[in-house]
Amino acid sequence: MEDSRRQFLKITGIAALGLSTASTAGVLAADQGPQPYTRKGDEALTAKQWGLVIDTTKIDHELAEKITEACHTTHNVPFFDPEIVGPEVAKRHEIKWIWETHYHNAFVDSGSNNYMSEEVEHRPFLVLCNHCEAPPCCRACPTEATYKRDDGIVIMNFHRCIGCRFCMAACPYGSRSFNFRDPRPFIKETNLKWPTRSKGVVEKCNFCVERLAVGKAPACVEASDGAIVFGDLEDPDSHIREVLREHYTTRRRVSLGTGPAVYYII
């Protein structure tokens, strides 16, 4: 009895071993052909921390509108016309990636100056997502739909967004907008090369990652006639660093510790 049990266990053990090697060999033998892979494009622009310098002395209301238009048409940002949907709805549903604002709204904590230059006070200031070094929106997002890329761009993965709007509450710059309704009927001219958004997701500036990937400058930079400079903030030899060395610049709400990557020449 003892003998036959021992025999049985031996045979089973050897059989199991044989079977497992056979199946492993099968897996190893299959799929030996060339495998598909993905890679970055050859002309893609790369950086450690992308940043912008906006020369506010060169931007008037007309140019600001042109820049905003260029950004918003590139990315299919809807426009809710106050004359059609009413001023209140237009304001509540407004979607903006880059927009024009007053000095006191742009630089909230620098408003202590009672007697400031009238020219500066009435100048249009273009504001957008600051692509912060320590983005509070990314910490707030429960689904990791928004995150900071290796090149410093704070980007959204719309597929993951559940529309909770924690990021909007976390962003101190108001750079994020929520799609309370389907944006498609409100897009003036659709850019067919770029998707729209659906109802229930947050959206914001993406630093034109799709343009950087094919070696183009962001749409706002291209439309700005040289008033906006983009480049790698961590590369001391980059053009943007040269501009920063030569001009006095400031950033929005630095005291909060978010580390904005958008600089302003005042």
Partner 1 sequence: MNDKNKVIAGIVIFFVLLTSPFWYNLLAAKTPAPEVVLTAKAKAAKVCVRDTAWMKANHMQLLDEWRDAVVLKSERIYVSPDGKEYNMSLSNTCLDCHSNYTEFCQRCHEYASIEPYCWECHINNPKETE
- Which residues sit at the interface with partner 1, rule CB under 8 A? 33-41, 44, 149, 151, 155, 157-159, 190, 192-198, 209, 213
Contact 29, 199 (CB under 8 A): no
In the complex, the smallest distance separating the C-beta of residue 155 from partner 1, rounded to whole angstroms, is 8
In the complex, the smallest distance separating the C-beta of residue 101 from partner 1, rounded to whole angstroms, is 28
In the complex, the smallest distance separating the C-beta of residue 199 from partner 1, rounded to whole angstroms, is 8
In the complex, the smallest distance separating the C-beta of residue 51 from partner 1, rounded to whole angstroms, is 17
Contact 172, 258 (CB under 8 A): yes
Task: Enumerate residues 6+ apart whose C-beta is below 8 A from 86.
Answer: none
Closer residue to partner 1 in complex, CB, 50/125: 50
Structure tokens at 94: 């407004």
In the complex, the smallest distance separating the C-beta of residue 32 from partner 1, rounded to whole angstroms, is 11
Residue 39 half-sphere exposure toward CB, CA atoms < 13 A: 5
Closer residue to partner 1 in complex, CB, 38/112: 38
Closer residue to partner 1 in complex, CB, 234/242: 234
DSSP 144-158: --EEE-TTS-EEE-T
Closer residue to partner 1 in complex, CB, 26/34: 34
In the complex, the smallest distance separating the C-beta of residue 1 from partner 1, rounded to whole angstroms, is 43
Closer residue to partner 1 in complex, CB, 151/232: 151
In the complex, the smallest distance separating the C-beta of residue 146 from partner 1, rounded to whole angstroms, is 11
Q: What is the dihedral of CA 168, 82, 225, 266, to 10 degrees?
A: -60
Cα-trace Rg, the chain: 27
Q: CB burial class (10 A; 0-12, 13-18, 19+) of residue 233? A: buried
> Cα–chain-centroid distance for residue 227?
21
Closer residue to partner 1 in complex, CB, 18/195: 195
CA distance linking residue 257 with residue 251, whole number of Å: 11
Longest dimension (CA), the chain: 105
Closer residue to partner 1 in complex, CB, 89/213: 213
